[in-house]
Amino acid sequence: MRYVYGPVLSRRLGRSLGIETVPLKTCNYSCVYCELGETTNRLNERRSFFPKEDILNDVNRALSSGIEIDHITFAGDGEPTLCSDLGWLIDKIKKITDIPVVVITNGSLLNREDVREDLMDADIVIPSLDAADVETFKRINRPCRGLEIDEIIEGLVEFNRLYKGTLYIEVMLVKNFNDDVETLQKISEAIKRIKPDGVYILTPVRPTATPVEQADKTAIIRASKIIGEAARIIHPELEASLKTE
């Protein structure tokens, strides 16, 4: 099995070398907008899924191949923080290259001290925050039992209080799920507490297994204004559509 893929072209990260640390669709969320469909391996316990040395060897081979890489990104087809080897892998990769290391996560486990410690040496961390109230959180993210949005937000606040890298929050807007004023204001209030370096506002652009609709232009502008009061909007989705026609 290969544990790295790409590099793939990313609007946010340029040429991004991806790293898989968990099996396909292993996650503690089953987001309505996930292009991979509903989560088949619902899990909320950290474990070692693959030999960590094999993952590191794949990264080494990719780095020695001479391909151009702008970022090394833990993301893949599941939730990377479920991998208990994540901190070890970040540490080893940082010792063999100066290429920035990124972790894209749903942020659900950052209320755990071990997860926060594992991510401290990453250069960039991008957690998602699609809701800041219980009802919306359950509707859009469909979390494992026991995950509470208030605890997740507290974990993000505590992580960024100590984190020295760059933290961006990602908000995925889905029509009729989280694009109304009241829901966006709650998200904005949470972001004020987290104090990230910036916020990505996104909306689904690829087909999803669960039929959902993109947020429309009006909703994206509304979200940019409301959330922009809490943090700098650095990459709104469908940026071109926001320009004056």
pLDDT digits (tens, 9 = 90+) for 33-51: 987 767 777 889 999 999 9
Can you state the angle between helices 52-64 and 86-96, rounded to 10 degrees? 30
pLDDT digits (tens, 9 = 90+) for 55-70: 999 999 999 998 999 9
Res. 237 pLDDT band, cuts 50 70 90: low
Residues 6+ apart with CB under 8 A from 113: none
pLDDT at 236: 57
pLDDT at 245: 36
Kindly state the percentage of the chain with pLDDT values over 70.
94
**Domain ranges (residues) in the chain:** 4-242
pLDDT at 34: 87
**Superfamily of domain 4-242, CATH level 4:** Aldolase class I (3.20.20.70)
pLDDT at 77: 85
Checking DSSP bridges between strand 14-19 and strand 101-105, what pairing results, if any? unpaired
- pTM (2 decimals)? 0.92
pLDDT at 240: 43
Instruction: Calculate mean pLDDT across residues 131-144.
Output: 97
